[in-house]
Amino acid sequence: MASSQQVDTVNTTADKAKLAASAALVVAALVAYYLLSKQGSIAQWGGLLVGLGAALVVFFSSEPGKQLVAFGRDAWREVKKVVWPSRKEAIQMTLYVFAFVVVMALFLWLTDKTLEWVFYDLILGWKK
């Protein structure tokens, strides 16, 4: 059975280097956060945010980063096409679901009590 799905991998050396640099920048940002703890919280958080920002810039300049941005744009375009229900429709559907749950609960309760009566009272003769 041959699979027609294509697996996207990072092929170019430049993209591999960018992803490695991005990971190294994340680690460097975390190290900076802990090393700058004696300088105060502003320096600590500043080092972390600058390092993470640099990692994001490097990541989004790579091919997987560009594909992620394109995917996000496509997803947003699809979300805009969704026709959301009005408030009245949403309330009606919610009431339908609650009514179905109540009816199903009653059905299951009646089924349980009927089977209990059949097995314990009629077949086994265990009167309570």
Q: What are the Cα distances from residue 81, in Å, to 40, 58, 77, 93?
A: 48, 32, 7, 21
Which DSSP letter does residue 82 get? -
- Please count the other Cβ atoms lying within 10 Å of the Cβ belonging to residue 63: 15
pLDDT one-digit tens code per residue, 12-50: 888 899 999 999 999 999 999 999 989 999 999 999 999
Confidence of residue 128 (pLDDT cuts 50, 70, 90): low
- pLDDT score for 7: 59
The token pair at 5 is 């799905």
pLDDT one-digit tens code per residue, 67-97: 999 999 999 999 999 998 999 999 999 999 9
- pLDDT score for 122: 83
Alpha helices by DSSP H, listed for 61-86, are 63-81
Single-letter code of the amino acid located at 5: Q
Does residue 102 have a pLDDT over 80? yes
Cβ atoms of residues 8 and 67 within 8 Å: yes
